[in-house]
Chain A
Amino acid sequence: MPKYLARRLGQSLLTVFLTLTTVFLLVRLAPGDPAAAYAGPTATTADLARIRGEFGLDQPLIQQYGIFLRDLLTGNLGTSYSFRAPALDVVLDRMPYTITLAVAAIAVTAVVAVPLGVWMARRADSKRELGANVLTITGQSMPDFWTGVMLLTVFAVLLPVLPASGFTSWSGLVLPTVTVAILQLALISRLVRREMTTALNSPYITVARSRGFSERALTWRYALGNSGVPLITAIGTRFAALLNGVVVVEVVFGWPGVGSLVVRALETRDYPLIQATVLVTATLAILVQLLVDLAYPLLDPRVRLGKAA
């Protein structure tokens, strides 16, 4: 177990490192000049050269990379050009908002999707289930930015019951959460339906039914108990994806999370900020995946860490 954990952490570190390096190279190869974005349209060539020197962008790429690595070891990710503050701090300041939205969305999704999926599995192939099926497919098919704009228009503009943008009070969380949850709901409920259908058709369910168990006990105790691993995997993966920033939804709702931060950082070619965002979100996402993996043996006694994939 400690050996497995060490190996997994090592792999994760390598993944984060390679990702960071890729991003480091990509941003510098991309057209666009951070100095120009920083200095504004009135800057002279001399100004730009001075700013480049200040940012260390006048040095050869390999030297910049060396400095980046050296600073990385000391936990220094450079200073954000546009915020003029340590990039890591800027990202960490935004992180609570992204985490709040991700947790709220995943919680709403789980609370609705699991019972819905179970219901669909038990009523499999009935007309009502077909209706629910088509409805979830529809939810999955709407572009999330469009859903967001529509919800905004209805609930913040036409019937102004909820705030339109930003995070001023907890009610500001409702619309972004619903927007994210609609898409996740479809994915998770369909997965629950598939897993539960398989479980409910397993021999052990038929045998348990022969012992006189009620359908309710069969469904919730035995079938759902056996769907634990795929269910937690799916929810964990979705959660990790949400932590990477729900870019589109954050932009639509002006949500001050890392998703909208990324868009701004890309626009202003804020290299340190882009790198810091990637580092933080990738690390978090990998941590969540690791936690999910560690939960497997608790959900299924046959799984032993490090033995089977």
Chain B
Amino acid sequence: MSLLAVENLETSYTSHGRRLKAVDGVSFTVAKGETVGLVGESGCGKSSLGKTVLRLVPSSGGAIRLGDTDIAPLDGRALIPFRRRMQMIFQDPFASLNPRQTVRTLLDTPLKVHGITDAVERESRINTIMDKVGLPRTALARYPHEFSGGQRQRIGIARALILAPELIVCDEPVSALDVSIQAQILNLLVDLKRDLGLSYLFISHDMSVVRYFTDRVLVMYLGRIVESGSYDTLWSNPLHPYTKALIAAVPSYDIDKKRTAVALKGELPSAAQIPSGCRFRLRCPIAQDTCAAQEPALRTLPNGQQVACHFA
């Protein structure tokens, strides 16, 4: 039984009178205790997908099942009990914390909103979380601008955890941090997952970060999943040319290793002008005439790997 099951999810925005689909028919599951990585270039719809799953952005089609309930049609008050079961860790630790609230207020308000009226219990929960994310209690009285980027991200993580959620959407949680801090935060996320039995949907544009702790990886291109599989299969045997290019882009310490794949040409097309047939064909090194005529379906291979390419 999966914790989260997303079926055929669509998210569309209206921009200058034109509708564009940022997420176009995506299905995947996240099991309890599993970490699913979601990779792709900037603008491919990863963040939109994450925010749609959390119902921060309205979906325009499909289902989001959290446990037994489809939360996509829910609204307002009906959604509140589900809110505490899933939370988000944001990319930018400077924009995601209200600059006019102390750390205590940042952590205390969610508990108040979710009906924990006992001040002693709130205090003990806050202290537990502060210990868990490795922040001193003295930090509670301070404002976000008094902290470094890494510490702020710890505050963001503490806020995401304060309601004891089951699923955390991590939207590029380390890409705004210094490289030296990234490992600390990633280690913290691994520890928290182990201690609290969390499930992560881990969004990143960086394969080497995803490699660090995901069980399964979804590769997204222009609003669709083009390949998915366990991390090991994907790393050793990428089938989709886009996945190959992403893996080739990860810097290697092995100087003798020859780069097998060429760098991608061109830019990610706008979601308002999706190419006919295969979405990737304009930038694909192995594209044929079929690719323009027919969109490849996401096929499941015997080893569980899924790929959407005519030639894979």
The answer to whether A and B come from one shared complex is no
User: Which residues of B are in contact with A by a Cβ distance under 8 Å?
Assistant: none
User: Which residues of A are in contact with B by a Cβ distance under 8 Å?
Assistant: none
